């Protein structure tokens, strides 16, 4: 059996679901545009530069979830999927996922974006397993905190290994393992798999990929 891992934002999506969720809440008036829009852009720029403080960002990202009942959040998310996400799901990304699944690979999306935002996207893509940053919950409602290790940088390796262990697997369970990503922030997990693939990579990842002879592809 093989393992196929996919980053989500700017990889299977031609955009960033984290960024778009905050912009969506701003567009609805849920978040104050003057206060939040500049911060959202600043965090996104830090992520792309590899300088993001993940805990500072998660405080920004997850706190709004705690201010609204889950039923309201779910209704907003359904509209967010239709208006913001489906237009940026790439056909080539869907085909890549289908190919790995047809070959019998164990597949998962591995993303720093929280599971409230990304679980419906994983379902849309036909991927049963999601390894993501987990918002803390009290019952069905969100507290605004994060549960466990954020699924970011080296945290992606820890979260993937915990997920695999829960299924009775480890890295040695697989003949080959792929990870597809666009971001320098994913260099730790890219270095862990047998088959790292740079997808529409940022300049730092592109340089690393060329130096190491990793495949570089485009899903746009």
Please compute the mean of the pLDDT values over residues 6-32 and round it to a whole number. Answer: 94
Joined together, the tokens standing for residue 98 give 């289908």
Least confident of 45-49, 71-75, 152-156, 187-191: 45-49
Least confident of 26-35, 144-153, 209-218: 26-35
Helix (H, G, I), strand (E, B) or coil at 103: coil
Q: Which residues pair with 216 in a beta bridge?
A: 198
Question: Is 0.75 topped by the overall pTM?
Answer: yes
Residues near 37 by beta carbon (within 8 Å), at least 6 away in sequence = 23, 26
Q: What is the pLDDT of residue 36?
A: 87
pLDDT at residue 34 tops 90: no
Residue 94 to residue 12: CA distance in whole angstroms? 7
Residue 158 to residue 130: CA distance in whole angstroms? 14
Domain range enclosing 39:
3-217
DSSP state of 125: T
Q: What is the pLDDT of residue 83?
A: 97
> Rg of the Cα trace of the chain?
17
Q: How many domains, in total, are found in the chain?
A: 1
Query: Can you say how many angstroms the Cα of residue 198 is from the centroid of all Cα atoms in its chain?
Result: 15
Q: Annotated catalytic sites, by residue?
A: 7, 9
CATH code where residue 48 lies? 3.40.50.1000
């Amino acid at each position: 059996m093989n393992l196929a891992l996919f980053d989500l934002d700017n990889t299977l999506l031609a955009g960033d679901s984290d960024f778009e969720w905050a912009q969506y809440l701003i567009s609805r008036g849920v978040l104050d545009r003057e206060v939040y829009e500049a911060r959202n852009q600043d965090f996104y720029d830090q992520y792309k530069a590899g300088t993001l403080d993940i805990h500072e960002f998660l405080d920004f990202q997850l706190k709004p979830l705690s201010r609204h009942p889950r039923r309201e959040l779910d209704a907003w998310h359904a509209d967010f999927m239709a208006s913001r996400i489906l237009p940026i799901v790439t056909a080539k990304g869907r085909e890549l996922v289908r190919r790995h699944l047809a070959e019998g690979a164990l597949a998962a999306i591995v993303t720093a974006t929280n599971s409230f935002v990304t679980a419906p996207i994983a379902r849309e893509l036909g991927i049963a397993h999601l390894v993501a940053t987990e918002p803390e919950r009290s019952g069905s409602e969100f507290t605004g905190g994060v549960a466990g290790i954020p699924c970011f940088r080296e945290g992606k390796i820890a979260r993937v290994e915990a997920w695999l262990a829960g299924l009775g697997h480890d890295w040695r369970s697989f003949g080959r393992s792929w990870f597809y990503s666009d971001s320098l922030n994913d260099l730790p997990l890219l270095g862990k798999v047998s088959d790292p693939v740079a997808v529409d990579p940022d300049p730092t990842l592109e340089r690393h990929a060329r130096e190491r002879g990793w495949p570089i592809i485009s899903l746009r």
